C-alpha cells in the first residue's frame, strides 16, 4: 500500500519514540470518478491545467499515465489546492503547501477519489486494529472488517483513517474494482502495513 505523507510522518515519529496522536483506527472505501485526461502542467508554477476540470480545493486525487512532472508519483494520494479557473495545484497533505514538480507535464490523467456514501444500512467506516510490528511489517488483528455498501457503489480503493469520520487519511490501497448491483457488504479480509516494500 502506498502511504500518504501524513502516514509516513506518523510512522517515522513512532520510530523515533514519539507517541502517535493519529494512528490508523478505521478503514473505509473509495470510488473513482471519471478520469480527467490530457491534463498538462508547468514546472515553474506547479500549475496543472485542463479546461473544465471540475475539481475543487480539498479533492483527493491520484495520477495515472504521467508524462513528465518529475517528482510526482502515480497512484499516490494528492489533494487539490489552489484552484483558479482552469488551473489547479497539488499538495501531499490536505490543505498543505503546493507540491513542487521539476519538469513540465505534457500529459497526465487525474482521477478523483470519492468516499462511498449512502445505503440502508448506511455506509460507514469500520474499526480496524493491528498486531505488533514484526520486522517492519504489521498485520491487522481485525481480519474481516465488513463495510456496508449502497447499490451502484464501485469499490476501487480501501482507505486507512485516523477516525470514524473526518480524521486524517493515512494510506490508500488500490483493489480489484467491485460493483454492487444492490445493497451489500465489502469485506477487508486482511490488511498488512509494510515498511519493507
- pLDDT band of 184, cuts 50, 70, 90: very high
* 80 & 144 share domain: no
Number of domains in the chain: 2
Number of H helices, E strands in the chain: 1, 14
**Angstrom distance (rounded) from CA 127 to CA 155:** 18
* 55 & 100 share domain: yes
Among 114, 132, 157, where does a domain finish? Answer: 114
* 13 & 62 share domain: no
CATH number of the CATH domain containing 99? 2.40.30.180
Per-position DSSP letters for 84-108, written without gaps between them: ETTEEEEESSTT-PPP--SS-EEEE
**Angstrom distance (rounded) from CA 158 to CA 139:** 15
* 17 & 45 share domain: no
Here the cell at position 136 is: 517492519
pLDDT in tens, 76-117: 999 999 999 999 999 999 999 999 999 999 999 999 999 999
Among 86, 114, 142, where does a domain finish? Answer: 114
**Angstrom distance (rounded) from CA 62 to CA 71:** 14
* 83 & 137 share domain: no
- pLDDT band of 30, cuts 50, 70, 90: very high
* 22 & 61 share domain: no
- pLDDT band of 2, cuts 50, 70, 90: confident
* 173 & 184 share domain: yes
Half-sphere exposure of 104 (CA within 13 A, CB side): 4
16 pLDDT more than 50: no
* 41 & 137 share domain: no
* 82 & 148 share domain: no
58 pLDDT more than 60: yes
Find the domain containing 121 and state its range.
5-31+116-194
- pLDDT band of 140, cuts 50, 70, 90: confident
46 pLDDT more than 60: yes
* 110 & 93 share domain: yes
* 107 & 134 share domain: no
Among 82, 114, 146, where does a domain finish? Answer: 114
* 124 & 27 share domain: yes
Amino acid at each position: 500500500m502506498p502511504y500518504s505523507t501524513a502516514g509516513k510522518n506518523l510512522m517515522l515519529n513512532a520510530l523515533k519514540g514519539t507517541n502517535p496522536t493519529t494512528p490508523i483506527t478505521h478503514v473505509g472505501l473509495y470510488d473513482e470518478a471519471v478520469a480527467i485526461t490530457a491534463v498538462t502542467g508547468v514546472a515553474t508554477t506547479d500549475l496543472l491545467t485542463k479546461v473544465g476540470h471540475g475539481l475543487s480545493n480539498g479533492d483527493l486525487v491520484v495520477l495515472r499515465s504521467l508524462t513528465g512532472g518529475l517528482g510526482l508519483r502515480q497512484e499516490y494520494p494528492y489533494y487539490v489546492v489552489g484552484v483558479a479557473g482552469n488551473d489547479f495545484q497539488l499538495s501531499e497533505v490536505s490543505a498543505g503547501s503546493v507540491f513542487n514538480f521539476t519538469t513540465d507535464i505534457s500529459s497526465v490523467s487525474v482521477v478523483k477519489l470519492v468516499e462511498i456514501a449512502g445505503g440502508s444500512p448506511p455506509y460507514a467506516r469500520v474499526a480496524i486494529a493491528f498486531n505488533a510490528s514484526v520486522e517492519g511489517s504489521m498485520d491487522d488483528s481485525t481480519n474481516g472488517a465488513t463495510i456496508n455498501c449502497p447499490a451502484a457503489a464501485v469499490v476501487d480503493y480501501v482507505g486507512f483513517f485516523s477516525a470514524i469520520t473526518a480524521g486524517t487519511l493515512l494510506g490508500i490501497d488500490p483493489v480489484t474494482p467491485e460493483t454492487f448491483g444492490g445493497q451489500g457488504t465489502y469485506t477487508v479480509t486482511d490488511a498488512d502495513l509494510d515498511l519493507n516494500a
